[in-house]
């Protein structure tokens, strides 16, 4: 397949936030996964599993979303601050977790984790069983420098300086477990919560630091997602609009209707079905972005210069990833292995997001540890990095780069290409989605380039995965490109079922 790549034709800058992660109190994502406690025999750093912390520090996720998910709408933040031996024990029924909830990992633990790994925090507010006052106190606890009861509480808990949390999600999936609301019901509650948010500006001339995030639709429902977005923005268009910075779309690559297809056992049809499912996301993003722009155009003009008109809302994705049917019966809840099928769909999803960096500004993989599309699996004292971890490590080169328009010139539906340019290098993602056959990709360019390196992630068997007994069965490797001459046409061979990143130096 021949692909023309012109680094002069770019669509936008790829926000590092598109490579975000999501952790929730679900199964063993946090408790017994990331968080083992300070008295655990498992090596830990202030209660966080040391090997997991080391892996996250190496990855440097730009964005980390917490505490949910569905869990957010039953979470009361005060239960997770202060001396751990005095925190109340509750019970977590979130998505079949069914276990006591000791609240050992709370606000300070989460925000210190973000600081340790270099991630910007995204906190989701309890809008279902919580209150506006509870939200305000939480925001004050995190962000007020000093002089208030909440800032004093934070200081007494060991953190005198404010955390500076900018991103605040208001509720989670209100169309389902977040309240089974209608768009107008959610819009009414959103108005109250968003209007009450403190800005943390030092004076009236400063722009507000806070970025309120509204819940978008269930991206997996073709008709409902259109109606939800239209109805929500129509509700906001009635009279004055509350502050809203972003709109959170959720989309899972569902693979739940074929009982013989599991996270590790699948045939050619199962492979093809999951690959196709991941590719649907591009159409969903385009659709939702266009709907948002159309809805914003209908916002009424204010009658007074003291009021403002809502003219921009960013599209973000708080949750995405593969969801296989056997996760529903897994214990711990929603634990899922990760094969090359998942690695390819993760790569394809990131490429879809990166290619639409002019439409979507943040996204979070669901979830980072032990749940669904995870990067890290833990088993007792073992920490295993899945093939998804390698994909995110390989794709870090695109953060802050300019996305390039890629123009296919030949037909090979199994070959997917994305490229970006930064600092004199073109980084080309080449995904061969053919389960069994190798492929050849030829890149043509307007000016000569020199192959400077290539990483490849593949396995002899596409069902392969990393386990405690074989933690490195699927690992990215460096490919020797020294024998490929520089020029305006570069040809590389791609293994079956492989993710590849080719570095081309502009000469």
Active site residues: 173, 319
Nearest by Cα to 399 from 9, 30, 13? 13
50: left (phi > 0), else alpha (psi -120 to 50), else beta?
alpha
Region of residue 47 (phi > 0: left; psi between -120 and 50: alpha; otherwise: beta): left
Backbone angles phi and psi of 178, in degrees to 5? -85, 15
Q: DSSP letters of 80-116?
A: GSS-GGGSPPEEE-GGG--EEE---S-HHHHHHHHHH
* CB neighbour class for 374 (10 Å; exposed up to 12, middle 13-18, buried from 19): buried
Q: Helix crossing, 107-117 with 50-59: angle to 10°?
A: 50
d(CA 322, CA 346) in angstroms, rounded, equals 8
Q: Provide, for the chain, the percentages of residues in helix, strand and coil under a 3-state DSSP scheme, each rounded to the nearest 5.
A: 30, 30, 40
HSE-up of 101 (CA within 13 Å, CB side)? 22
> Rounded to an integer, what distance in angstroms lies between the CA atom of residue 91 and that of residue 68?
16
Give SS3 for 498: strand
Task: In whole angstroms, give the CA distance from residue 123 to residue 113.
Answer: 13
Shortest CA distance to 171 belongs to which of 318, 316, 64, 72? 72
Residue 397 to residue 502: CA distance in whole angstroms? 11
Rounded to whole angstroms, what are the CA distances from 128 to 64, 107, 137, 248, 366? 22, 19, 16, 17, 22
Tokens coding 500: 């590849």
Contact between 110 and 75 under an 8 Å Cβ cutoff? The reply is no
Q: Are residues 78 and 36 in contact, defined by beta-carbon separation less than 8 angstroms? A: no
Contact present, 236 and 195 (Cβ < 8 Å): no
Pairing between β-strand 63-66 and β-strand 402-408 as defined by DSSP bridges: unpaired
What are the helix (H) ranges across 335-468? 340-355, 387-395
111, two tokens? 């925000």
Adjacent-strand bridge partners of 465 = 339
* The total number of residues written for the chain in this structure: 507
Phi, psi of 32 (to 5 degrees): 75, -5
Q: Is 200 left (phi over 0), alpha (psi -120 to 50) or beta?
A: left
């Amino acid at each position: 397949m021949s692909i023309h790549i012109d680094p002069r034709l770019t669509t936008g800058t790829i926000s590092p936030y598109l490579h975000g992660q999501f952790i929730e109190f679900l199964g063993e994502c946090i408790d017994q996964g990331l968080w083992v406690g300070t008295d655990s025999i498992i090596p830990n750093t202030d209660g966080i599993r040391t090997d997991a912390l080391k892996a996250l520090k190496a990855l440097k996720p730009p964005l980390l979303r917490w505490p949910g998910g569905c869990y957010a709408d039953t979470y009361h933040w005060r239960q997770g601050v202060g001396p751990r031996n005095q925190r109340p024990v509750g019970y977590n029924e979130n998505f079949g977790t069914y276990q006591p909830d000791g609240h050992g990992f709370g606000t300070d633990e989460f925000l210190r984790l973000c600081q340790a790994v270099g991630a910007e925090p995204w906190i989701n507010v309890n809008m279902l069983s919580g209150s506006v006052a509870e939200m305000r106190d939480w925001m004050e606890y995190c962000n007020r420098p000093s002089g208030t009861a909440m800032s004093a509480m934070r200081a007494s808990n060991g953190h005198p300086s404010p955390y500076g949390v900018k991103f605040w999600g208001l509720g989670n999936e209100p169309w389902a477990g977040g309240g089974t609301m209608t768009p107008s019901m959610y819009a009414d509650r959103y108005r109250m919560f968003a209007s009450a948010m403190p800005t943390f500006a030092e004076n009236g001339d400063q722009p507000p630091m806070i970025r309120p995030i509204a819940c978008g639709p269930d991206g997996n429902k073709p008709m409902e997602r259109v109606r939800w977005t239209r109805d929500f923005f129509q509700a906001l268009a009635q009279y004055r609009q509350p502050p809203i910075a972003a709109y959170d779309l959720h989309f899972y690559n569902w693979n739940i209707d074929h009982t013989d297809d599991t996270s590790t056992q699948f045939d050619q049809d199962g492979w093809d079905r999951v690959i196709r499912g991941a590719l649907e996301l591009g159409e969903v993003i385009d659709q939702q972005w266009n709907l948002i722009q159309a809805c914003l155009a209908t916002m009424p003009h204010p009658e007074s210069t003291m009021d403002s008109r809502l003219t921009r809302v960013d599209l973000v994705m708080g949750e995405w990833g593969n969801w296989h049917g056997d996760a529903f019966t897994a214990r711990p809840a929603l634990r899922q292995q990760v094969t090359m099928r998942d690695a390819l769909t993760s790569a394809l999803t990131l490429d879809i997001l990166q290619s639409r960096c002019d439409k979507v500004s943040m996204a979070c993989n669901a979830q980072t540890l032990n749940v669904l599309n995870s990067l890290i699996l833990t088993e007792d004292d073992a920490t295993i990095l899945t093939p998804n971890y390698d994909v995110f490590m390989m794709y870090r080169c695109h953060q802050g780069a300019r996305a390039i328009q890629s123009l296919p010139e030949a037909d090979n539906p199994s070959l997917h290409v994305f490229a970006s340019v930064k600092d004199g290098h073109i980084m080309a993602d080449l995904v061969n989605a053919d389960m069994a056959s190798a492929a050849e990709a030829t890149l043509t360019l307007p000016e000569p380039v020199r192959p400077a390196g290539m990483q490849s992630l593949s396995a002899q068997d596409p069902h392969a995965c990393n386990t405690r007994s074989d933690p490195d069965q699927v690992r990215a490797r460096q490919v020797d490109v020294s024998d490929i001459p520089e020029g305006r046409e570069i040809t590389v061979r791609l293994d079956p079922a492989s993710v590849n990143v080719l570095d081309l130096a502009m000469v």
